[in-house]
């Protein structure tokens, strides 16, 4: 997973930076996860480095992913010998103020799915998937 900074906007008050707004994209090479986010950074925390902005965006996702509104869009079952072998889950998650939105899909374990195929369980799997991918970045 990569976090790409799209835009940084600095507001000035009395000749000094008063706030910094950063717009970013979440991208994954395999196209399993994508999204956009927006954060405000205190000017004292910004050292002029792109890496600092990327780390702040990554932390924003980690701080926010549990509070997103999740929607399971579809599940696709792969069968082998009349049993579910795996489940692909397609989801989206966002916050109403558009601060963060994520779309993605992941392959779930058939055994876990069979234990609890509820939408709530799938949403929990989506949360775990996001957290895991962001922590790897």
pLDDT tens digits for 70-111? Answer: 999 999 999 999 988 999 999 999 998 889 999 999 998 888
Whole-number pLDDT of residue 136: 85
pLDDT band at 114 (very low <50, low <70, confident <90, very high): confident
pTM of the predicted protein model: 0.85
Query: Which residue in 104, 126, 102, 103 sits closest to 113, CA to CA?
Result: 126
Rounded CA separation 85/25 (Å): 33
Question: Tell me: the pLDDT tens digits for 4-51?
Answer: 999 999 999 999 888 899 999 999 877 789 999 999 998 888 898 999
Q: Residue 54 above 80 pLDDT? A: yes
Sign of CA dihedral 114, 33, 37, 4: positive
User: What kind and span of H or E run contains 39?
Assistant: strand 33-41
User: Could you give the angle at which helices 119-136 and 50-64 cross, rounded to 10 degrees?
Assistant: 160
Q: State the virtual CA torsion across 41, 47, 53, 56 in degrees, nearest 10.
A: -60
Q: Which residues touch 8 (CB under 8 Å, ≥6 apart)?
A: 20, 21, 22, 23, 53
Rounded CA separation 35/102 (Å): 4
User: What kind and span of H or E run contains 24?
Assistant: strand 16-27
């Amino acid at each position: 997973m990569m976090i790409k900074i799209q835009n940084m906007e600095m507001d000035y008050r009395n000749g000094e930076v008063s706030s910094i707004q950063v717009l970013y994209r979440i991208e994954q090479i395999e196209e399993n996860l994508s999204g956009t986010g927006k954060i405000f950074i205190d000017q004292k925390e910004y050292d002029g480095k792109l890496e600092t902005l990327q780390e702040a965006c990554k932390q924003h996702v980690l701080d926010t992913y549990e509070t997103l509104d999740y929607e399971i869009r579809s599940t696709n079952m792969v069968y082998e010998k009349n049993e579910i072998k795996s489940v692909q889950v397609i989801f989206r998650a966002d916050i109403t103020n558009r601060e963060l939105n994520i779309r993605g899909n992941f392959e779930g374990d058939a055994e876990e799915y069979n234990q609890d195929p509820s939408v709530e369980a799938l949403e929990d799997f989506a949360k775990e998937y996001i957290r895991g991918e962001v922590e790897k970045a």
